[in-house]
Amino acid sequence: MLQNVGLAFVFNGVGIPVAATGLIHPVWAMVAMAVSVTAIFINSFSGQPKLFLEAIASVGRPTGAAATPNPK
């Protein structure tokens, strides 16, 4: 978790000032933000590939109360 916080601070601490001062085009700032989020997401599953694959496989599947049919 500390590593993810560090990554977030590095990406945002460098990316936001660079984008705000106009040193890079806004599209590249958006790409950098997407890379930041993706890197942190993938890093959060490092060492636990089973969790990563389960998270991907569960996309679009109902969970909890939505998964149980209405008894009426």
The stretches of the chain forming alpha helices (DSSP H) are 2-20, 26-44, 49-57
Residue range 47-58, pLDDT digits in tens: 676 777 787 788
**Angular region, 67: left φ>0, alpha ψ -120 to 50, beta rest:** alpha
Residue range 10-21, pLDDT digits in tens: 777 887 788 888
pTM, rounded to two decimals = 0.50
